[in-house]
Amino acid sequence: MGSSKAKQPREKLFTFNGREQAIRSTEPLALFTDGILAITATILVIQLEVPKNVGITGLRHALWEQWPTFVAVVIGYLWLAASWINTRRLRRMLCGMDHWATVLYLFTIFSITLIPFVMLGLARTISHPDFPVGVQLLACLSLANGILVNALLEYCRWRGLGTAHMTKAAWRAVRVPNFILTGCDVLAVILAPIIPTVVIIYITADWLYALLPLFTDHEDHPANGADLIPQPVDDD
């Protein structure tokens, strides 16, 4: 009996191989994401305030002095709205997530929590000589977010975490635009000190693009968590 026990495989404490990890529903992550985005949006909006002492110039003038903050809050909320929609699209693409996909997803959400900080920096630099620095900071966060999203998509494709409708062509339709936009974000970081106004217009247009209704949104996707079987996809 002692020899039979000795031949039994030793229990593993960790499993770094993604294919050995369990696949879980994304529902808990969806709840976590909704909470994080709600808190982030609240932090973003509380940067606006009605001055207690409006002075002799009146409330209108006092509010007008805050126009850079208004602009930054609107742009920041646009980014948050695009992020919320994109996380919903991602969930429809996946049958579930393993440990490494979850880690990448959490880092992606972390980059979104930095939006109020970046927007505050942008608001403080509008109409100031440091405006290119504020725009470059914004471009850097947009680039970091894009890199994390691409890494998550690539890992999920390699791991076979897509639902049955995520064929090779479907993955390509998702990956190619994201790679192009990430490349444009690299240019935005480089060009921000030179043409900051153009860069901020591009970044805003990028988020507006995410708000548009994609053709793939019409597809009848199964409820997430109903089928946690990975769907293998052939490599390019």
pLDDT tens per residue, range 22-60:
788 888 888 999 999 999 999 999 888 777 776 666 777
Looking at residues 177-194, what average pLDDT do you find?
Answer: 94
pLDDT range class, residue 217, cuts 50, 70, 90: low
Looking at residues 170-196, what average pLDDT do you find?
Answer: 93
169 within domain boundaries = yes
| pLDDT for 43 | 93
Number of domains in the chain: 1
Asked whether the beta carbons of 156 and 94 are under 8 A apart, the reply is yes
Looking at residues 122-150, what average pLDDT do you find?
Answer: 93
- Please check the confidence at residue 229 and state whether its pLDDT lies above 70: no
* 24 phi, psi to nearest 5 deg: -110, 160
pLDDT range class, residue 231, cuts 50, 70, 90: low
CA distance 37 to 33: 6
Range of the domain at 29: 24-48+59-216
7 within domain boundaries = no
| pLDDT for 235 | 57
2 within domain boundaries = no
228 within domain boundaries = no
Taken as a whole, the chain contains a residue count of: 236
What pTM, to 2 d.p., does this model score?
0.81
